[in-house]
A and B are shown apart, each in its own frame.
Chain A
Amino acid sequence: MSAASFNPRAIAAIYRFEMARTWRTPLQSIVSPVLSTSLYFIVFGGAIGSRMQEIDGVPYGAFIVPGLIMLSLLTQSIANASFAIYFPKFTGTIYELLSAPVAWWEAVIAYVGAAASKSILLGLIILLTATFFVPLRIEHPGMMLLFLVLTATTFSLFGFIIGIWADGFEKLQVIPLLIVTPLAFLGGSFYSISMLPPFWQTVTLFNPVVYLISGFRWSFFGLADVSLGVSLGMTLLFLAACIAIVGWIFKTGYRLKN
Chain B
Amino acid sequence: MLLRHGPAVATPANLTYMRSMHAPSTPPIISVSGLSKTYATGFSALKSVDLAIKRGEIFALLGPNGAGKTTLISIICGLVRPSTGTVTADGHDIQRDYRAARSAIGLVPQELTTDAFETVWATVSFSRGLFGRPKDPALIERILKDLSLWDKKDTQIRRLSGGMKRRVMIAKALSHEPRILFLDEPTAGVDVELRQDMWQMVRRLRDDGVTIILTTHYIEEAEEMADRVGVISKGEIILVEEKAELMRKLGKKQLTLQLQQPITGVPAALADFDLRLSADGEEIVYTYDTQADRTGITTLLQTLSEAGIRFRDLSTSQSSLEEIFVNLVRERA
Please pick, from A5, A95, A101, A103, the residue contacting B107 in the complex, using a CB distance under 8 A.
A95
List 6 A–B pairs whose Cβ atoms lie within 8 Å, in order of A's numbering.
Answer: A1-B176, A4-B132, A10-B132, A17-B118, A101-B99, A103-B99
Q: Does A170 have its Cβ within 8 Å of any Cβ on chain B?
A: no
8 A-B pairs closest in CB distance? A13-B129, A3-B100, A92-B113, A101-B99, A101-B102, A7-B132, A99-B77, A100-B130
- Once the chains bind, are A1 and B133 in contact (CB under 8 Å)? yes
Q: Does A253 have its Cβ within 8 Å of any Cβ on chain B?
A: yes
- Once the chains bind, are A253 and B103 in contact (CB under 8 Å)? no
Q: Does B131 have its Cβ within 8 Å of any Cβ on chain A?
A: yes
Encode B119-163 as 1/0 by CB contact (under 8 A) with A.
000100011111111100000000000000000000000000000
Q: Does A93 have its Cβ within 8 Å of any Cβ on chain B?
A: yes
Please pick, from A4, A12, A91, A101, the residue contacting B113 in the complex, using a CB distance under 8 A.
A91
Q: Does B105 have its Cβ within 8 Å of any Cβ on chain A?
A: yes
- Once the chains bind, are A258 and B80 in contact (CB under 8 Å)? yes
A246 to chain B: which residues have CB within 8 Å?
A: none
Q: Does B252 have its Cβ within 8 Å of any Cβ on chain A?
A: no
- Once the chains bind, are B79 and A95 in contact (CB under 8 Å)? yes
- Once the chains bind, are B78 and A98 in contact (CB under 8 Å)? yes
User: In the complex, A99 Cα to B113 Cα: how many Å?
Assistant: 14
- Category for how many chain B residues contact A: 35 or more
User: In the complex, A257 Cα to B115 Cα: how many Å?
Assistant: 21
Q: Given known contacts A3-B99, A257-B80, is B111 in contact with A10 (CB within 8 Å)?
A: no
Q: Does A115 have its Cβ within 8 Å of any Cβ on chain B?
A: no
- Once the chains bind, are B103 and A92 in contact (CB under 8 Å)? no
User: In the complex, A106 Cα to B130 Cα: how many Å?
Assistant: 11
Encode B19-55 as 1/0 by CB contact (under 8 A) with A.
0000000000000000000011000000000000000
Please pick, from A10, A12, A21, A103, the residue contacting B131 in the complex, using a CB distance under 8 A.
A10
A102 to chain B: which residues have CB within 8 Å?
A: 130
A253 to chain B: which residues have CB within 8 Å?
A: 81
- A246 nearest CB across to chain B (Å): 17
Q: Does A24 have its Cβ within 8 Å of any Cβ on chain B?
A: yes
A1 to chain B: which residues have CB within 8 Å?
A: 103, 131-133, 176
Encode A67-108 as 1/0 by CB contact (under 8 A) with B.
000000000000000000000000111011111111100000
Q: Does B172 have its Cβ within 8 Å of any Cβ on chain A?
A: yes
- Once the chains bind, are B117 and A101 in contact (CB under 8 Å)? no
User: In the complex, A100 Cα to B100 Cα: how many Å?
Assistant: 10
Encode A155-177 as 1/0 by CB contact (under 8 A) with B.
00000000000000000000000
- Once the chains bind, are B98 and A101 in contact (CB under 8 Å)? yes
A51 to chain B: which residues have CB within 8 Å?
A: none
Encode B172-188 as 1/0 by CB contact (under 8 A) with A.
10001000000000000
Q: Does B323 have its Cβ within 8 Å of any Cβ on chain A?
A: no
User: In the complex, A17 Cα to B128 Cα: how many Å?
Assistant: 13
A258 to chain B: which residues have CB within 8 Å?
A: 39-40, 80-81
- Once the chains bind, are B113 and A97 in contact (CB under 8 Å)? no
**Residue on B nearest A110 in the bound complex, by CB:** B130
Q: Does B245 have its Cβ within 8 Å of any Cβ on chain A?
A: no
User: In the complex, A3 Cα to B98 Cα: how many Å?
Assistant: 9
